[in-house]
Amino acid sequence: MTLIGMLHHRRDPSKVKKAYAYAAVAKAEGVTFFYFTPGKVNIKQQTILGKSYENGRWIEREFPFPDVIYNASYLSSEKTQHIFDYLYDRIPFTSHSIGDKLSVYNRIKKANKFKHYLIPYYEITNVKIFFDMINRYQKVIIKPLSGHQGGGVVFIEKDSSNHYKINDAGVESVINEKGMLDWLSHKVQEQDYIIQQFITSQTNSGHVFDFRLHVQKNGEGKWVITSIYPRIGRLGTITSNMASGGYSTYLDIFLKTEFGDSWFDIKRYLEQFAISFSNHFDSLYDNELDELGIDVGIDASQKLWLFEVNWRPGPPNIYSLELDVAKNTILYAKYLADKNKD
């Protein structure tokens, strides 16, 4: 029987919402599943003190090294890094990092095939890059290289009198060129940023929106769509992320409202893009990927733009899709284990 270990940094699996879903699906699929943290790994004995879900609670037991590891851990301290590395070198892992925003964009750009979906971008290594971009496009956004959930994204617009309108986390201000230079110099000292042309992806009522294309590998190692859903920002915000007050609705309802008779064509376009892009993007890495959250926008002329690619997307929060996500994860882990035994 296949043995799957879920690696996480939290000690208590009852505080990890999705752990129960994975345990339930594993049981239904005839797979043995346990939860563990790096500190419970005994390299010398080749055993792990893990927790399995039995009769309504998590019970601690000793397990041999699993056939495959679903790595759901975000944190790896210096103390546990060697354990992570030891396991990574010997056991198939389901998930692999895709790198920060800049490395992702550069990879797609270099591969060429999906380059035309990228929004023009540069890393802000000096203020000249910023002023070149704002003069060319008038409206830009800057975002931290390693940010997530829409955090740290700033919208900047240049007006005819050489003043700059800034929307930083919903706080709007207007400054002159010297003020802009000072603000930017301070900003880029804090962390690394990229700058992009601002693409208008707005609803008829003026709310920014994007689509999250949530894809996973299934039990045959093939990409499938878990869900596609729109994310709509609060009026006046520049990101549609749920963490900054955004909300969602059902895809068909949203498409019919915003695109009228074209709604079905847009839906098919999103579905086809989700699968074709995932196959292409997967081929750009040495390690196979298992799950992606692809964020795309559609402008007024119905052109699709790629905003971001995330390798650990959260489950869509307007559906009860935790079990769908868990089912794909468990079946893909089983597929990886079987493939590794061949």
| Same domain membership, residue 183 and residue 109 | no
Whether 326 is in a domain gets the answer no
- Domain range for 300: 101-117+202-311
Which two three-digit tokens encode residue 14?
């009852």
- Over pLDDT 70: what percentage of the chain? 93
Question: Final residue of a domain: which of 165, 197, 229?
Answer: 197
Quick check: is 324 in a domain? no
If you ran DSSP here, which 8-state letter would residue 236 be given? Answer: T
pLDDT at 105: 95
Asked, for residue 316, whether it belongs to a domain, the answer is: no
- What is the model's pTM? 0.92
pLDDT band for position 296 (cuts 50, 70, 90): very high
Are 24 and 332 within 8 A, CB to CB?
A: no
Could you give the 3-state DSSP secondary structure of residue 95? coil
What CATH number is given to the structural domain containing 294? Answer: 3.30.470.20
CA distances to 47, 99, 256, 271 from 225, rounded to whole Å, are: 36, 22, 20, 8
Residue 295 forms part of a structural domain: yes
Q: Are 182 and 112 in contact (CB under 8 A)?
A: no
Give residue 207's identity as a one-letter amino acid code: H
**pLDDT mean over 260-276:** 97
Q: Place 170 in a pLDDT band, splitting at 50, 70 and 90.
A: confident
The total number of structural domains in the chain stands at 3
pLDDT (average), residues 73-80: 74
How does residue 244 score in pLDDT terms, banded at 50, 70 and 90? Answer: low
- For the purposes of burial, counting CB atoms within 10 Å of the CB of 307, is it exposed (0-12), middle (13-18) or buried (19 or more)? buried
Q: Which of 266, 272, 290 has the alpha carbon at shortest distance from 209?
A: 266
Residues 133 and 188 in one domain: yes
322 in a domain, yes or no? no
- Contact criterion met (CB below 8 Å) for 57 and 31: no
Say yes or no: 164 and 250 in one domain: no
Q: Is 320 contained in some domain?
A: no
Distance CA 252, CA 219 (A): 28
Q: Provide mean pLDDT across the span 292-309.
A: 94
For residue 88, report the phi and psi dihedrals to the nearest 5 degrees: -60, -35
Q: With b meaning 16 or more CB within 10 Å and e meaning fewer, what string describes 146-158? A: ebeebebbbbbbb
Same domain, 223 and 302: yes
Is it the case that residue 10 has pLDDT exceeding 80?
yes
Residue 255 lies in a domain: yes
Regarding whether 78 and 50 lie in a shared domain, the answer is yes
Mean pLDDT of the chain: 90
> What are residue 123's DSSP bridge partners?
194
For 86, 89, 174, 208, 214, the CA distances from 290, given in Å and listed in that order, are 21, 18, 44, 29, 11
60-64, 167-171, 206-210, 225-229, range with the lowest pLDDT: 167-171
Shared-domain flag, residues 241 and 167: no
Parallel, antiparallel or unpaired: strands 223-232 and 247-248: antiparallel
Q: Do 219 and 112 fall within a single domain?
A: yes
Average pLDDT score over residue span 223-227: 95
The DSSP result for 125-186, as a single string, is SSHHHHHHHHHHHSEEEEEETT--TTTT-EEEEE-TTS-EEEEETTEEEEE-HHHHHHHHHH
What is the tens place of the pLDDT at every residue in 279-288? 999 999 999 9
Find the mean pLDDT for residues 57-62.
96
